[in-house]
Homo-oligomer: A and B are copies of this chain.
């Protein structure tokens, strides 16, 4: 139930089970195995003699970053590219930077877009609130557009 909390022969100091990593990152156990199949990790995740994954803190840190990248809309394929750059060692920092910069631009663009949508939506909300207070129906959608 409590798994190995620091004493089993297989797990290194601070070796984490998949369940603990799931808790720590907010990702599901399924998602973690999926990410591994998809090549998103920075290294091969080692196994115990029994075949179970043993994660390190640095894996969790990376997964947390992956979570942010995903939340902000980066596709799995792009995260995979980024991971591949890191895995292939020093020397490609400019490429990594370019990838991150492009994503930053994308996120800013999406923020602008969302803000524009928010304005429209908030405008609608205000219109309905006024209608409900005043009893007017100005600016509301009719059931059948007036023709």
Contact = CB atoms under 8 A, between A and B. Distances in A.
Interface of A: 12, 42-43, 56, 58-59, 62, 65, 68-69, 71-72, 86-90, 93-94, 96-97, 100-101, 103-104, 107-108, 110-111, 113-118, 120-122, 124-125, 128-129, 131-132, 137, 140-141, 143-147
A113 B71 contact: yes
- Label chain A's interface by main secondary structure: helix
Give how many copies assemble into the complex.
2
A141 B61 CA distance: 10
Contacts of A71: 113-114, 117
Contacts of A137: 90
Interface centre among A65, A90, A143 (most CB of B within 10 A): A143
